[in-house]
């Protein structure tokens, strides 16, 4: 294995190879100007997910830097150890539970994230897109219309009549930046808004204009139950079989945060039992969701393929900062005499530093 000094000398005379992973939307090239970086380094864009850690290791073995989109590609110790050439690891966003950051840094790999742009606004808006699609029966009625029918016929599956949310209750689990946005929109609809999390105080809830209640009361009395917590050991399976059984028979469970906040394995049985009546989900235990997954066949679900953060201004923020940070890094490698503090210094244009990864919060 090359020593760090030898590796740096080698890179100084060669073009570094950079992998841009997880470009599933195929939007990276038009979300930022890559022109200068393409003249300095060899870039390869990966537009499909890796099937396994072994596949990722084979594909990324000859790259000096790897860029990840959020938590789409897990980067555990086992993968890091199979990438001896890797010197720079970047991910979009300010936290990433799928990357073993401590182990990467112990191997001398520089790790950093980016800011998130209007990510929180995007996720809150998508939460309401799911709520309204579920309660107004948007998908069912559109499918009926596409089949040539103005209303369901005897031959077509009937669907429940649309709901009205005004005057009903929404329970928000996690009243952070995203949960608070969801609450304010609910207030605009004239809903009764209650909230709970383990750290939520009545005073903070009141500042947002909502009322704190205990978890079981929220679950048992809310028409809409929407989750906005960071996934941790403490928050995992916040909603499971016990909580499902407490829900109203007309309840809609909404999750745009992390799939592990609910017990997804038992959700299908809960839907079959009628509590909740419907699930509106943007996140899943396995992503992409595999063909034949039970949720894909269930009639009482509204599903989107993890689109909460996917929006033009968010992607532009992500990729522009990646390009700026990588450009500084590559220039420092090629001209170390001109960038004496290169590896650890802040990129003025991107604002990304290796240590600028926030501590994990409780609420989103």
For residue 182, what is the enclosing H or E element? helix 177-188
Question: One of 88, 169, 306, 320 is an active-site residue; which one?
Answer: 306
DSSP character for 227? E
Q: Which residues of 273-301 are buried (b: 16+ CB within 10 A; e: fewer)?
A: eebbbbbbbbbbeeeebeeebebeeeebb
Long-range contact set of residues 26-34: C-beta below 8 Å, sequence gap at least 24: 27/315, 27/319, 28/315, 28/319, 31/312, 31/315, 31/316, 31/318, 31/319, 31/320, 32/316, 32/319, 32/320, 32/322, 32/323, 33/320, 33/323, 34/323
Which of 33, 38, 36, 2 shows the shortest CA–CA distance to 17? 38
Question: One of 95, 258, 278, 320 is an active-site residue; which one?
Answer: 258
C-alpha torsion angle, residues 150, 156, 157, 159 (rounded to 10): 10
Whether 42 is catalytic:
no
Whether 110 is catalytic:
no
Please answer whether residues 128 and 280 qualify as being in contact, where contact means their C-beta atoms are separated by less than 8 angstroms. no
Backbone φ, ψ for residue 355 (5° rounding)? -105, 15
Query: Please, which residues bridge with residue 262 across strands?
Result: 239
Question: One of 42, 94, 125, 287 is an active-site residue; which one?
Answer: 287
Here the tokens at position 66 are 């790897």
270 class by beta-carbon count within 10 Å (0-12 exposed, 13-18 middle, 19+ buried) = buried
Whether 360 is catalytic:
no
- The span from the CA of 203 to the CA of 193, in Å, is 15
- Strand pairing category for 65-68 and 17-20: parallel
- The span from the CA of 332 to the CA of 308, in Å, is 36
- The span from the CA of 86 to the CA of 18, in Å, is 10
Looking at the annotation, which residues are catalytic? 258, 287, 306
């Amino acid at each position: 294995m090359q020593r760090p000094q030898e590796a740096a000398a080698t890179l100084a005379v060669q073009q570094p190879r950079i992998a841009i992973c997880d470009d599933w939307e195929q939007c990276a090239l038009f979300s930022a100007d890559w022109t200068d970086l393409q003249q300095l380094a060899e870039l390869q864009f990966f537009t499909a997910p890796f099937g396994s850690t072994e596949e990722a290791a084979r594909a990324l073995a000859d790259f000096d830097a790897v860029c990840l989109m959020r938590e789409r590609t897990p980067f555990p110790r086992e993968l890091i150890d199979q990438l001896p050439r890797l010197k720079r690891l970047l991910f979009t966003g300010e936290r990433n539970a799928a990357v073993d950051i401590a182990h990467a840094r112990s191997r001398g790999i520089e790790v950093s994230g980016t800011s998130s742009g209007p990510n929180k606004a995007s996720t809150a808006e998508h939460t309401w897109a799911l709520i309204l699609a579920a309660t107004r029966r948007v998908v069912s009625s559109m499918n009926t219309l596409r089949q040539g029918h103005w209303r369901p016929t005897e031959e077509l599956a009937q669907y429940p009549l649309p709901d009205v949310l005004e005057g009903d209750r929404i329970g928000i689990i996690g009243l952070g930046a995203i949960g608070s946005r969801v609450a304010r929109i609910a207030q605009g609809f004239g809903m009764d808004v209650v909230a709970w999390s383990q750290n939520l105080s009545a005073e903070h809830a009141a500042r947002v204009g909502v009322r704190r209640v205990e978890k079981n009361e929220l679950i048992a009395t809310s028409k809409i139950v929407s989750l906005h917590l960071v996934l941790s050991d403490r928050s995992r399976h916040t909603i499971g079989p016990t909580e499902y059984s407490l829900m109203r028979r007309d309840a809609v469970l909404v999750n745009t945060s992390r799939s592990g906040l609910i017990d997804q394995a038992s959700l299908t049985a809960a839907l079959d039992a009628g509590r909740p009546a419907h699930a509106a989900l943007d996140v899943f235990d396995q992503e992409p969701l595999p063909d034949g997954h039970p949720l894909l066949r269930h009639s009482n679900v509204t599903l989107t393929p993890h689109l909460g953060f996917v929006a033009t201004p968010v992607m532009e923020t992500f990729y522009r900062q990646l390009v700026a940070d990588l450009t500084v890094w590559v220039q420092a490698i090629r001209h170390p005499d001109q960038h004496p503090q290169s590896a650890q210094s802040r990129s003025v244009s991107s604002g990304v530093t290796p240590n600028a990864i926030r501590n994990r919060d409780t609420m989103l």
